[in-house]
Each structure stands twice: as structure tokens, then as C-alpha cells.
Structure 1
Amino acid sequence: MVIITLLIISPLIVLPVIEPLFLTIILPIAGIILLIGLIILVSQGLLIGLIKGAGVRVSEKQFPDLHKVIIKQCQALGIKNIPKTYIIESAILNAFATRFAGSNYMILFSELAELILSEDVEKDVVDFVVAHELGHIKRNHITKKLLVYPSLFVPFLPQAYSRACEYTCDRIGTKLSPTGAVAGIKMLAAGKKLARKLNVKAYAEQTQQGEAGFWTWISEKLSTHPHLSKRITPEMLKADFIATASGKNTYFEEKEKPKTISSTKESIDDIKKAAKPDDYQSDDHNKYLPK
């Protein structure tokens, strides 16, 4: 994206210097670019205004438990500009991070907020979802996208960049909440109740089956997010297994109650396939599992 942006911008700078007649072409193009920038600025301002007016601001007085998670994870990630977090009403399981006028914002749709904050959902899932969104802020994805704006008009390229950003944020979320990552993706895929019965191995393999085909492939290439079944990576499964075996479910604190053997067994085969043989010959991880 950087290379394509330079290829587009460089002629607009060099050609007028070499041949002044090109100014008649360059100036209208520059005007169009400025107009697009102004439209983006106004639309972003209107979006933030709507969120501030209709959304619910997360703070010490409003959803304090969620606010504590955000503060704690910002400190772990070294984010000094704490994002202003809002919950807005929507039936979509989604969240996003954005930036406007020097401030970071994190928006949680109410359907997702209700799901992760319900009493019967483990706290590590909340940690993962929040850490994933904070990952966009930590890696400056919003600013980077603006800097390479000309390349966003190339077919398939901006979607590929966006999917790469999502994988990056999944890794950040897995680091801060290794046991919440797989559970969080399962919950997004099947909902709170059915997630407990979801077979991770079968779900991760379903896009590799013969019936997936061309339309499954092209739908992902046109999407800003990877298919959920592909986001449960071998690295994520391995992190979940090691964290469960050691009893530490988050980056911050020791786990109070280990998972049962049945909730751990289904991913062991996948982890062994993805890992090197030496990883499992040096130690017997079964000794960490509850009797």
C-alpha cells in the first residue's frame, strides 16, 4: 500500500517541476483529493457527534467493571491516550476503534456488549474483546490507513490490509487473554449458549472442506474481516492450551479456577499438529490438568 501510494503521489509532485504545463492536470486532481479529504472529515465528525449524543459513555460511574478493564489494558499496552469508549444500540455483534481530532474512540455495539458483559460469560472473554479493539489504537491502524489513502482505490488491496490488521489485533488479544481468545471467537460464531458445545476442530476445518469453494474464497477477499473459522489459528489454540495447563488465563492475574479436561481435550490434537515435535517431548503437560 505504501509503494502504490508513492507511485500515485510521486508524479503529482515531480511532473509540475519538469513540465509546468502539467499543472493544468495536477491542480484539478489535487482539488479532488482535498474535496475527498473534507468529505471524510465532515462525515467522521458527524459520526462522532452522533455517538456522543446517542451512545452511553463508559466511565467510573457507567459500567465501571468494563472501564477498569480498559484502563488496565491501556496501561499494559502503553496507550497513554485512553480511548473514549461508548456503547451504541445495535443488533450486530461488532465493535470498532476510530480516531478524531486527536482523540481515540472505542465503540461497542450493544448486542456485543450485552454478550460479553453477561454474568455467565467468563471475564477472559471481555479481556480479549477489549484488547482486540485496543490493538487497532496501539498499532495506529486508523492513521496508517489515512497516510496510504490513494491505495485504497486498488481492488482487493484495502480489504487485504484490513484483514491483516484483524489478525494482528487477534494476536494482541491472545497475548493479554490467551484463554479468552478461542472462547471469544466461538461466542461470536455461535452465540453465548451454543459456543459451549462448538467443536473447535470441526469449525476451524469447515472452510477447508470441498464444499467451501470459490464463493467462500471470494467473499473473504471482498471482506474487511477474515472468516471467523479462520481466526481460530493454531497459535491461538496453543496459547489457550498452555495458559489452561499453567493456570494463568490472562496476562495480568492467575486463574482462580482451571478449565475442565473436557473443555481442553478438543484442541490438543490441533495444537500438536501445529507445534514442533520437541515442544511436547520435553514435558508432560497432562500433569497440569485437573484430576
Structure 2
Amino acid sequence: MDKEITHQFIQNALKEDVGDGDHTSLATIKAGTQGKAKLLVKDTGILAGVELAKQILNVVDTNIKIDVFITDGQEVKPGDVAFMIEGDARNILTAERLILNCMQRMSGIATKTNQIVKLLKGTNTQVLDTRKTTPGMRYLEKWAVKIGGGVNHRFGLYDMILIKDNHVDYSGGIRQAIENANRYINDTNKKLAIEIEVRNLDELEQVLQTGKVNRILLDNFNFNDLRQAVSIVAGRYITEASGGITIDNIREYADCGVDYISVGALTHSVKSLDLSLKAVKL
């Protein structure tokens, strides 16, 4: 966990939610009232966000105590209690929604990722996330992918060169795009890997003739063409498949021999895991 990133996220989220005060709690709960609450699991899946919840509580109130029973990455089922917290009741309620919003989404992502990881078991293919994330929550969502057993692709536009179809079209072709990218790296002394997207076997051949890349993204290939592409590449470059890949066909894509499969659905259309924070009588 990068505490600097998560701390800034927590501060912004609390500012958005609390504003000038949690007036419901201030109006109804006597100052100094002590409370206890449990994180109750109401769904089946992979838990994620416990470490983040601990940091949220610490930012809200360093005196709130937490007793963790289930850690990130563990399987959970309805009725499980992930942790118990105890402290100032008002502050527990201030932290409640932020904890649930983050943990429900992170757990949903971890659960979906883990489902795919199990489908790929026995192959040499790993599942990648994408940049199709919720603005402001990318770090948390990619963290959840790792908790679920997946692999993070580039975090943003700054940590890898990924030449896609629009870059190729704007730069005047595949060879020119690759040459431009390599020239940029040399001119700026950046240490960046280069990946290029190809849409068919002809474009793949152009890349192979040019070289000077680290990874080839095979986009929207059918199974026959994908198997042929992997055979042609013959291990010279890392291969990645994307486009039109679902739970139902991902194993078939993996059986074509690619190194990675990127799945935007891990983060852009995942179902949150049902969790709640329930008060417990002292």
C-alpha cells in the first residue's frame, strides 16, 4: 500500500462526504458516546480493502481500535465478520460509508479477478487490468486486482508507451510510430517499455519487421488468427490479447498461448460485494 496515495484519497473522500460536519450524528448522539461495530459480510467472494479500512479509521480517529479476523485476499461468505471496531460512536459513523464504499467495490473487483484467475489455472496466461477505472479510485481498483490474483498493467499514461490504433494513424503508420517512440525514449532518457497494438496479421508482420518493441497487443483476433500470431511471434516478444473477451471464452483465448489477457470489465463493470457495518451493543 502506498500510504501517501491512499492518505490523499481518504482526505479528499472525507472532505467530499463530511463537509462542515456529520450533522445527523452530531444532532442525535451525545458527545463522547462509545460504540462498537462489526463489518458483516452478506455475500460470497474475496475480501479486499481491510488494510485501507484500517487507514481510514486512523485518519478519522487514531483512538478507534480495530480487531481484524479476515484479511485481504481471503474467501468470505454470508455471515462472516471481517473485523470489529470500537471507539467514539460519532467517528465510527463518519468513517462508515467511506469504508463500505471502498471495500464493497474493491472486494467485487478482487472476486471477479479471482474468478478469472481460477479459469486460467493450468495455462501460462495471466489476467491484466486496464485504465478503464473510476477517476480518483484507480490505485484502489488496481490494488484490488492484485489482491484477487491478477496483474497490473500500466498505471497511467506516464509509466509505459502503449501505441494504439489512433497513435498509429496520427503518426503515419506502424513503422513511423515505433521509430518515433524509440526516438522519444532516446531523447528524453526515459526508461519506458514499448507496447504496440495490432489488429490483424498484416499489422503484426509490420511490427516484426520493424522490431524495437517489448510487447505486442493482439486486439480483437479470432482464435485461429491468435494461435497463428502467437506461433509467428515465437516468444520473441511478450504477447497480450484483448477485445471481445468474456468469462465464457477467456479460457479459449488463454489456450491460444498468449502471455497476458487484458480485461477492462475487471474494473469498469464489476458488481460490488455486499457488506455492511452494524452497531454492536457494548
User: Would you tell me which structure has more strand in proportion to its own residues?
Assistant: 2
* TM-score normalised according to structure 1 size: 0.24
Structure of greater relative contact order (alpha carbons < 8 Å, 6+ residues apart): 2
User: Would you tell me which structure has more helix in proportion to its own residues?
Assistant: 1
